[in-house]
Amino acid sequence: MTARSATPARIAVLVSGSGSNLQALLDRIAHEPGFGGEVVVVGADRDDALGLTRAREAGIPTVVQRLRDHPDREAWEQALRHDVAEQRPDVVVLAGFMKILSATFLDGWPGRVINTHPSLLPAFRGAHAVREALEHGVKLTGSTVHLVDELVDHGPIIAQRAVEVRPDDDEERLHERIKTVEHDLFPTCVGLLCRGQLRVDGRTVTVLPAPEPSAAPPLTDQE
């Protein structure tokens, strides 16, 4: 593993919609001394994503790459990666980003791309996790934060938190309760990654003790 600078990790956040997880992250960074990271760019695949407005109001640079503006998905992804890489991020955060990223993109930040998903993975992967949990009749679902690999909702799991499915739940009500959990769990895991407190062995993620206040908080790559 490679130690990095004691300065805060540079975070790029990718969004497609309202950016509520982005806002939760920004709020946590603002109120938690020693969080270990700062958001330096917010990217989106839609120019009407509310998350872009949140970023601009916070004074954070934004970039937009729409898939339809490119001849194919590969060209779109290359353009997005170029825009993100210009801000030299150490960590890439997928906060409601609804596009699948290939290994070509992920290889730019090995072991340092993080995502949140509204189910207890490996159950209910994909874009309709809340609906499918209700259809399946499960009694518990929840939120999972994981590192990203080239498969959908598949990478090593950092943390999970359960949410009860109530008899009167519909998709909207259940999703809102999952988001409440997510807005706490997700920034917590991003902070752990920024401070170098995650060790990955295969599919097992171990949370390491916090560094001493006098020590430089290393950001570590997977070997």
Nearest-angstrom CA–CA distance, 112 and 147: 7
Compute the distance between CA of residue 24 and CA of residue 15 in angstroms, rounded to an integer.
Answer: 13
Q: Under a CB-based contact definition with an 8 Å cutoff, are residues 159 and 184 in contact?
A: no
Q: Is 175 a catalytic residue?
A: no
DSSP assigned state of 194: H
In the numeric block, the tokens 């874009």 are attached to: 127
Contact 182, 160 (CB under 8 A): no
Please identify which of the residues 117, 146, 175, 183 carries the catalytic annotation: 117
Q: Which 8-state DSSP code applies to residue 5?
A: -
Q: In whole angstroms, how far apart are CA 214 and each of 34, 210, 217, 219?
A: 12, 11, 9, 16
Pairing of strands 204-207, 198-201: antiparallel
Angle of the 171-194 helix axis to the 20-31 helix axis, nearest 10 = 40
Active-site residues: which are they? Answer: 117
